[in-house]
Amino acid sequence: MRRGVVEGVTVLIAGVVAFPLYWMVLTALKPADEVISANPRPWTLTPTFDSFVRALTVQSFGRYLVNSLVVALAVVLLSLLISFLAATALTRFRFRSRTTLLVMLLVVQMVPVEALTIPLFFVMQSVRDVAPAFGLNHLGSLVLVHLAFSLPFAIWMLRGFVAAVPVELEEAATLDGASRVRFLWQVLFPLVAPGLVATSVLSFIHAWNDFLFAKTFIISAAENQTLPLALQVFVKPDQNDWGAIMAGSTLMTVPVLVFFVVVQRRLVAGLAGAVKS
Amino acid sequence: MTDVHLDPRPATGARARPEAPRAPRWKRRKSDGPIAFAYLAPALLVLVGLMGYPIYQLVLISLFDYGQEQVSGGAPLVFLGLDNYTRLLGDPKFWTVLAQTVGFAAVCVVGTLLVGAALAVLATRVRTWARMTLFLAALGAWATPTVAGSTIWLFLFDANFGFVNELLGTTGFSWTYDRWTAFGLVAAEVVWCSFPFVMVTLYAGIKSIPGEVLEAAALDGASTFRTARSVILPLLRPLLVVVTIQSIIWDFKVFTQIYIMTNGGGIAGRNLVLNVYAYQQAFAASEYGLGATIGVVMTVLLLLITLGYLRALRKSGEEL
């Protein structure tokens, strides 16, 4: 009986938490006149995809969606590879500056990335002269900064997972004649999969969510903008196209939601594992 | 010096025993330096180039009069020394923004931790179906991109078409106009999108507490609150440290929410926080030197807060 009440409260809270998302999808599906009604109803009897069509055609959201995907996936792949190698080195090898490096990785996470926007802007300006694809106004610049900012956390997190793999496994693999490289990729890599999933979710979200760097670096190349910026195009001082904004927000949120639901179990396992270690 | 990685066999067993540095074999073994460096090289390259060097540059820029003319090469760079710092610290606006930043972050951190912890405990007390409902909703809030989340909340609280005003019967009321309601709205959005991390992490932590301990508390007739305070909390302290530090770091440098929801820092800059202030100074006012100075001050503050928190914990006998 009491449990029923607690569960009722739980579901109510879940409803409140999910409500903004419901409102987003609902508004995206409402016809234009219902969206700008002074007495908004929490349902609609005449759902329409007009707002989605407007978002996709007028603002070519599709293009920005692809840009965002390219950046986020590139960051995830690169950071997985690089942080796995670094985490292995930091847990499995002994060398002089190991502890110093670990402390530096921790400290660097506290540096507000936003404060680095100014110098990074100038860095990207110089990169453009050497390698245009990775400099100002190009998606590569976003890949680079997000890679840099996701690495310290990813390495720190993966360390725990690599350390948790019993050393005996490596010994056994070596006895069986497996080379070190083979052991690394065929034994160790799959074993730390939960950690890899958790770190890739976090780096994906970082890159996907980024507004500041996209706003600062992609200044005069509209075709290279990412979703968070494109969404802002609809926001006008007096006449917001809320229907299109919410349709755009929906398009932007759905891929992350799908990603989250797919990896949900592993994500929780990953967070718990990282925390335990 | 022989390269360790050319002949891995003799060293493998010892090398792979990092948690037992006193094992006799480790003492006889050579350092893994060269191969470790090879594994670390890509990470170091990225981190030095895109974090180390920019940090150095940030400090450097803050010592110069660095405006639009200097950027375009039209005027020579003037070394100011600490002038930017004295100018900033002498500006009353800076102190207002600083106080706002700290207050805003504190509210967000406390709110996030309270909501996250309370819901984590709640999740342990209900059956799977109710817990899954809560987790799915939280997952949704967590997964919502910051820009989208900010925009949705803005629309929910919109003066003319917002559902919340309709509910409250306050149609026409602008939440973003007044300084405090604007901050409150942004804080609510920040808590909404960041409590799931705390909740999921703490839930995983609570789940790792042996069931007998909780059963004993329940048998003794302990209330939810009592169980949380006297049993779960002490066991979760190390975990709480992690989520608190993360929250401090995140909330102290909220940018996107403030920028979007208050349209770049509120009317007449009433809702500025250090981050947005630095950005506006640098990129809107082309005062890169002053912007960098704010960035340095912010970095130092964040380091001090985090280190101070860690020290306080160590003093209270907590190990990390």
C-alpha distances (whole Å) from A211 to each of A115, A150, A226, B173 are 14, 16, 8, 28
Q: Does the model's pTM come out above 0.90?
A: no
Q: Are residues B65 and B117 in the same domain?
A: no
Residues of the domain holding B304: 56-90+287-320
Is A220 domain-assigned? yes
Binned at pLDDT 50, 70 and 90, residue A189 comes out as confident
Touching check for A9 and chain B: CB below 8 Å? yes
Contact with chain B for residue A186, Cβ under 8 A = no
pLDDT by residue (tens digit) across B77-93? 888 889 999 999 999 99
Q: Indicate if B234 and B249 belong to the same structural domain.
A: yes
Helix (H) or strand (E) run with residue A72 in it: helix A61-92
Chain B nearest-CA distance from A191, in A, is: 16
Same domain, B137 and B271: yes
Residue from B15, B19, B37, B46 to probe the interface with A (highest A Cβ count within 10 Å): B46
Mean pLDDT of all residues in chain A? Answer: 86
pLDDT of residue A191: 87
| pLDDT averaged over every residue in chain B | 84
- Does a structural domain hold residue B108? yes
B193 and B310, same domain (yes or no): no
CB pairs under 8 A between A and B: 314
Q: How many CA atoms lie within 13 A of B251 on its CB side?
A: 32
Q: What pLDDT does residue A276 have?
A: 52
**Considering the domain boundaries, does residue A56 fall inside one?**
no
> What does the pLDDT average to over A246-268?
83
Average pLDDT of B255-260? 92
Query: Which residue type, as a one-letter code, is found at position B75?
Result: A
A191 domain-assigned? yes
Highest mean pLDDT among B2-16, B275-289, B305-319: B275-289
- 3-class secondary structure for chain B? CCCHHHCCHHHHHHHCCCCCCCCHHHHHCCCCHHHHHHHHHHHHHHHHHHHHHHHHHHHHHCCEECCHHHHHCCCCCEECCCHHHHHHHCCHHHHHHHHHHHHHHHHHHHHHHHHHHHHHHHHHCCCHHHHHHHHHHHHHHHHCCHHHHHHHHHHHCCCCCCHHHHHHCCCCCCCCCCHHHHHHHHHHHHHHHHHHHHHHHHHHHHHCCCHHHHHHHHHCCCCHHHHHHHHHHHHHHHHHHHHHHHHHHHHHCCCHHHHHHCCCCCHHHCCCCHHHHHHHHHHHCCCHHHHHHHHHHHHHHHHHHHHHHHHHHHHCCCCC
In a domain, A97, yes or no: yes
Q: Are residues B67 and B122 in the same domain?
A: no
Residues B187 and B258 reside in one and the same domain: yes
Considering the domain architecture, whether residues B164 and B260 belong to the same structural domain is answered as yes
Q: Are B84 and B116 in the same domain? A: no
pLDDT digits (tens, 9 = 90+) for B10-51: 334 444 444 444 444 444 455 677 888 889 999 999 999 999
Tallying the residues shown for chain A, one arrives at 277
Q: What is the pLDDT of residues A14-69, one digit of tens each?
A: 999 999 999 999 999 999 888 888 888 888 888 999 999 988 887 778 889 899 99
Percent of chain A predicted with pLDDT > 90: 36
Mean pLDDT of B187-201: 94
| More confident position, A273 or A136 | A136
Query: How high is the pLDDT of residue A202?
Result: 83
Cross-chain Cβ contact A123/B153 below 8 Å: no
Asked if residue B233 and residue B121 are part of one domain, the reply reads yes
Token pair listed for B304: 């001090």
Residue B9 predicted with pLDDT over 70: no
Total of domains in chain A = 1
Residue A106 sits in which domain range? 61-230+254-276
Mark yes or no for CB contact A119/B54 under 8 Å: yes
Domain count, chain B: 2
Is the residue at A106 inside a domain?
yes
Same domain, B109 and B229: yes
Give me the residue from A40, A116, A171 closest to B55, CB to CB: A116
For residues B2 and A192, the model is more confident at: A192
Q: In this predicted structure, which of A138-152, B213-227, B296-310 has the lowest mean pLDDT?
A: B213-227
Contact, A112 vs B298, CB < 8 A?
Answer: yes
User: Minimal Cα distance from A145: which residue of B?
Assistant: B50
Higher pLDDT, B22 or B225: B225
Band of residue A271 on the pLDDT scale cut at 50, 70, 90: low
Within a domain: A179: yes
Domain-embedded: residue B154: yes
Residues B150 and B202 in one domain: yes
Task: Check which CATH number belongs to the domain holding B191 and give it.
Answer: 1.10.3720.10
Residue A85 touches partner B, C-beta closer than 8 Å: yes
For the cut 80, the answer to whether the pLDDT of residue A235 exceeds it is: no
A148 contacts on B by Cβ (under 8 Å):
46-47, 49-51
The CATH number for A178's domain is 1.10.3720.10
For residues B258-281, average pLDDT: 91
Is residue A262 one of the residues assigned to a domain? yes
Q: For position A29, what pLDDT does the model report?
A: 95
Residue A21 lies in a domain: no
For residue B263 the two structure tokens come to 């349209």
pLDDT score for B316:
66
Mean pLDDT of B107-115: 97
B255, part of any domain: yes
Lowest mean pLDDT, pick from A109-123, B13-27, B138-152, B258-272: B13-27
Residues B65 and B209 in one domain: no
